[in-house]
Structure 1
């Protein structure tokens, strides 16, 4: 059985870019995007008329 050698370390320029992005609060490759998580969790159409099963439904209308 062959053992894979460890992956080479990132070149310094990549470490520097990741460090800069992290200091600016940007999303980093391989990490969750906290802003996207927050935006996707909220009810986007809560105050608008939306289509449900092809029928227009206004907020508060019951079926």
Structure 2
């Protein structure tokens, strides 16, 4: 899958839904700078997330 295809198929790291075209936050992991994406619902509920690369957990 090309890098542009991966961006179009982003998933929320908390709940796993496809967040392409949705209101979502994308930010770098505080530990390893991996890009993390979260849906609006998980952000609003402060659901935990885990970085898929380093295992950092945050609210």
Tell me whether the two structures share a fold, i.e. TM-score over 0.5. Answer: no
> What TM-score, normalized by structure 2, do the two folds share?
0.22
* Structure with the bigger percentage of helix: 1
Which of the two has higher C-alpha Rg? 1
* Structure with the bigger percentage of strand: 2
> What TM-score, normalized by structure 1, do the two folds share?
0.21
Q: Which fold has the larger relative contact order, with Cα–Cα distance below 8 Å and residues 6 or more apart in sequence?
A: 2
